[in-house]
């Protein structure tokens, strides 16, 4: 049972996707369990028994700890375990060798992300992140400290500020137009479109364009970035094998080397691509960015390199973040949003009415038109409430001992905030399982903008505090203009069920991000 669960978890961690066969990993795991049994027993005594730690469920096993208690939908398992064994939204599990605090209530989130924000603002060490992110010297996985502070300042001031994001609007609109044309062709033929493919291609191209400028489509580069990003997500998804390996264990080095092979191969592919692109950007013959298009991220980073004391590797690490953090999050939200609209036709109609009230026969809805569309934004927020793309945010990591609700949270504890459970908590939300964008327009939920930034920390799709997502403006800009145009230009139906009002399957598949199990196929019609 425990091994079954461990094997399952390795799969979640994306380790099965490596060139190392899953079977070999399972055998290694068995070996680790055998070799480290004694050590773990000692460690658990040191960690758990005498101190007032947050509550844990019974049934902890050597090495894998509480792993066997988690089902394939980890966000749901944790919500249920917390309801049974947690206290005030605090639950301590041992996942492999790592003590992990799960946070599932607004008050616990407040303690971790606001009151003691500084203590919990770091990231747990990860070998894969070290390799893929040059240190890590990116932003998302960099430990809390001066390097992270400076790099984040650069990002928020020069790359992701509202002004810079706005300056990319022409490129974004061009990408929307390409997608709308493809859908129009399908509507004319009367065929279904693969919305998953179109929307992931769209968000990929929007990010590629911001990062690389006009050269993003050269020789299928956008597709290559999409492929590499996908592998990154699978490698860093869930929990990584290194967490199962007790430090100082005989063979630990050899095992870690084995697991790092895939990360190194992947890093080499990113590195070659970045070298080529940076070389192009430094070349004197590179055309300067046009009047309509802002300088791309590579230009910006190269021009700020000296001022911020960055190396070329630091720049590459930050670029990896842009792809990994920027593409899938917005794509999944758009895809879930469309799926929810198909299952709630009255909301689809209401949204279409808002968007179409801009006037008939517009070529397209532009970003200038969006400011009057409160229901559009509310629909996206409601999608994020029910389907936060990062259900546990990114892992936080405590750098000092800390007391919350009388419990000791020791230094070096990994902290995962269950944003998915917070968004569906019946004590925080009326009709939590209903897709109901109006809740974001109503007074009862308070001021919408304050809520976006987590007024009472029950709505946390972007996190909160020092590590809050710096790409919120970029994400909203990408999603809003696309969703508005999908609503403006087309009516929508489900294949083989046209005219019946049938909905779509909402089954989820858990990883670092929360994806839909099935691809979203829809039939567009020109109204």
Interaction site with ligand HEM (CB under 6 A): 139-140, 152, 321-322, 325-326, 329-330, 333, 389-390, 393-394, 461-463, 467-471, 474-475
CB-nearer residue toward ligand HEM: 96 or 463: 463
Tokens of 104: 């599932």
Beta bridge partners of 510: 514
CB-nearer residue toward ligand HEM: 168 or 436: 168
Residue 449's alpha-carbon distances to 58, 374, 378, 441, 453, in angstroms, are: 41, 12, 11, 11, 7
Q: How far is the CB of 96 from ligand HEM (least distance, A)?
A: 21
In this structure, are residues 487 and 351 in contact, taking their beta carbons and an 8 Å threshold? yes
Number of residue whose CB is nearest ligand HEM: 471
Q: How far is the CB of 320 from ligand HEM (least distance, A)?
A: 10
- Helix (H) or strand (E) holding 509, with range, is strand 508-510
Q: How far is the CB of 191 from ligand HEM (least distance, A)?
A: 29
CB-nearer residue toward ligand HEM: 420 or 488: 420
Q: How far is the CB of 319 from ligand HEM (least distance, A)?
A: 10
Q: What are phi and psi of 247, to 5 degrees?
A: -60, 155
Q: How far is the CB of 395 from ligand HEM (least distance, A)?
A: 7
Beta bridge partners of 94: 99
Query: What does the H/E/C string look like for 359-420?
Result: CCCCCCCCHHHHHHCHHHHHHHHHHHHHCCCCCCCCCEECCCCEEECCEEECCCCEEEECHH
Say which residue the tokens 């009230």 belong to: 357
Tell whether residue 469 is among the known ligand binding residues: yes
Question: CA angle, corner 251, sides to 248 and 254, nearest 5?
Answer: 115
Q: How far is the CB of 145 from ligand HEM (least distance, A)?
A: 12
CB-nearer residue toward ligand HEM: 56 or 329: 329
CB-nearer residue toward ligand HEM: 10 or 351: 351
Alpha-carbon distance of 520 to 197, in angstroms, equals 9
Q: How far is the CB of 213 from ligand HEM (least distance, A)?
A: 15
Tokens of 334: 């758009």
DSSP structural state of residue 122:
B
Dmax over CA atoms of the chain, in Å, equals 73
In this structure, are residues 369 and 480 in contact, taking their beta carbons and an 8 Å threshold? no
In this structure, are residues 435 and 347 in contact, taking their beta carbons and an 8 Å threshold? yes
CB-nearer residue toward ligand HEM: 56 or 330: 330
> Which residues, 6 or more positions from 101, have their beta carbon under 8 angstroms from its beta carbon?
54, 90, 91, 92, 112, 398, 409, 413, 414, 415, 416
Q: How far is the CB of 16 from ligand HEM (least distance, A)?
A: 25
CB-nearer residue toward ligand HEM: 62 or 471: 471
CB-nearer residue toward ligand HEM: 140 or 482: 140
In this structure, are residues 187 and 524 in contact, taking their beta carbons and an 8 Å threshold? yes
Q: How far is the CB of 475 from ligand HEM (least distance, A)?
A: 3
Tokens of 93: 């599990």
Q: In what order do the strands lie in the sheet with 414-417?
A: 90-95, 98-103, 414-417, 396-397
Beta bridge partners of 99: 94
Q: How far is the CB of 476 from ligand HEM (least distance, A)?
A: 7
CB-nearer residue toward ligand HEM: 321 or 382: 321
CB-nearer residue toward ligand HEM: 66 or 385: 385
3-state secondary structure of 227: helix
Q: What are phi and psi of 92, to 5 degrees?
A: -105, 125
Alpha-carbon distance of 15 to 18, in angstroms, equals 5
Binding residues are 469
Binding residues for heme are 469
């Amino acid at each position: 049972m425990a091994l079954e669960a461990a094997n399952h978890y390795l799969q979640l961690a994306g380790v099965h996707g490596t060139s190392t066969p899953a079977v070999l990993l399972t055998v290694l795991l068995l070996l680790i369990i055998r070799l480290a049994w004694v050590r773990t027993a000692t460690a658990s005594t040191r960690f758990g028994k005498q101190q007032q730690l947050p509550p844990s469920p019974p049934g902890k096993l050597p090495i894998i700890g509480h792993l066997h208690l988690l089902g394939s939908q980890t966000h749901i398992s944790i919500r249920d375990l917390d309801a049974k064994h947690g206290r005030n939204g605090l639950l301590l599990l041992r996942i492999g060798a790592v003590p992990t605090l799960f946070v599932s209530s607004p008050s616990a989130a407040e303690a971790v992300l606001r009151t003691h924000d500084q203590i919990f603002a770091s990231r747990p060490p990860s070998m894969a992140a070290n390799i893929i992110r040059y240190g890590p010297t990116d932003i998302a996985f960099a430990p809390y400290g001066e390097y992270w502070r400076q790099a984040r300042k650069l990002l928020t001031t020069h790359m992701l500020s509202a002004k810079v994001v706005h300056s990319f609007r022409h490129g974004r609109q061009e990408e929307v137009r390409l997608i709308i044309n493809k859908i129009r062709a399908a509507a004319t033929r009367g065929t279904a479109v693969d919305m998953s493919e179109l929307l992931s291609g769209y968000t990929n191209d929007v990010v590629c364009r911001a990062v690389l400028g006009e050269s993003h489509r050269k020789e299928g580069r956008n597709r290559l970035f999409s492929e590499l990003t996908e592998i990154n997500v699978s490698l860093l998804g869930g929990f990584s094998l290194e967490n199962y390996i007790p430090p100082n264990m005989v063979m630990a080095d050899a095992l870690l080397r084995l697991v790092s092979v895939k990360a190194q191969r992947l890093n080499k592919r990113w590195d070659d691509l970045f070298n080529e692109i940076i070389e192009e950007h430094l070349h004197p013959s590179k055309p300067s960015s046009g009047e309509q298009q802002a300088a791309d991220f590579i230009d910006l980073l190269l021009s700020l390199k000296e001022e911020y004391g960055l190396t070329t590797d630091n720049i590459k690490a930050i670029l990896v973040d842009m792809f990994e953090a920027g593409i899938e999050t917005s794509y999944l939200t758009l895809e879930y949003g469309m799926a929810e609209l198909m299952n709630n036709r009255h909301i689809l109609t209401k949204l279409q009415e808002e968007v179409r009230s801009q006037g008939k026969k517009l070529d397209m809805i532009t970003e200038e038109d969006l400011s009057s569309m409160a229901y559009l934004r509310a629909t996206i927020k409601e999608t994020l409430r029910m389907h936060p793309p990062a259900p546990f945010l990114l892992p936080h990591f405590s750098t000092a001992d800390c007391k919350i609700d009388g419990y000791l949270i020791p230094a070096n504890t990994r902290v995962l905030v269950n944003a998915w459970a917070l968004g569906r908590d019946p004590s925080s939300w009326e009709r939590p399982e209903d897709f109901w964008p109006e809740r974001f327009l109503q007074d009862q939920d308070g001021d919408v903008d304050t809520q976006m930034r987590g007024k009472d920390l029950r709505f946390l799709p972007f996190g909160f505090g020092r590590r809050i997502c710096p790409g919120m403006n970029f994400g909203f800009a990408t999603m809003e203009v696309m969703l508005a145009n999908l609503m403006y230009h087309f009516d929508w139906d489900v294949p083989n069920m046209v005219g019946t009002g049938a909905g779509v399957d909402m089954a989820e598949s858990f990883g670092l991000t929360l994806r839909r199990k099935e691809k979203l196929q829809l039939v567009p019609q020109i109204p």
